């Protein structure tokens, strides 16, 4: 019997809460749903903007790293050419 009374108490409490919510609600349900939808859209839009911002930042950093890598590769090629030229000159002089 205790479980039955508990269930009856929970259901009656939920019904009373829903009734009180309807009676004391400051706005119509349609207005409340519209506000919830609008605020949800705002949050989604804000989150999308933040994701796009992070994506753009990562793309710029990736491009910077690629440029540094290309510069390092070019520098290595120049150093290699200078070393080979120096070796050729040393052979020619010897």
Report pLDDT digits (tens) over 31-90: 878 887 888 888 888 889 989 998 999 999 999 988 888 888 888 888 888 888 888 777
**Is 51 in contact with 58 (CB distance < 8 Å)?**
no
pTM above 0.85, yes or no: no
For 77, the token pair is 């090629």
SS3 assignment for 71-89 = HHHHHHHHHHHHHHHHHHH
**What is the C-alpha separation between 6 and 3, in angstroms, rounded?**
5
In the block, residue with structure tokens 């052979």: 91
Count Cα neighbours of 91 within 13 Å in the Cβ-side half-sphere: 6
């Amino acid at each position: 019997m205790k479980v039955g009374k508990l269930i009856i108490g929970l259901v009656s409490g939920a019904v009373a809460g829903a009734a009180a919510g309807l009676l004391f609600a400051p706005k119509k349900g349609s207005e409340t749903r519209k506000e919830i939808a609008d605020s949800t859209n705002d949050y989604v839009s804000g989150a999308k903007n933040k994701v796009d911002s992070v994506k753009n930042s990562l793309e710029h950093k990736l491009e910077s790293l690629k440029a540094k890598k290309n510069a390092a590769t070019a520098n290595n090629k120049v150093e290699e050419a200078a070393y080979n030229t120096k070796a050729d000159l040393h052979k020619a002089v010897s």
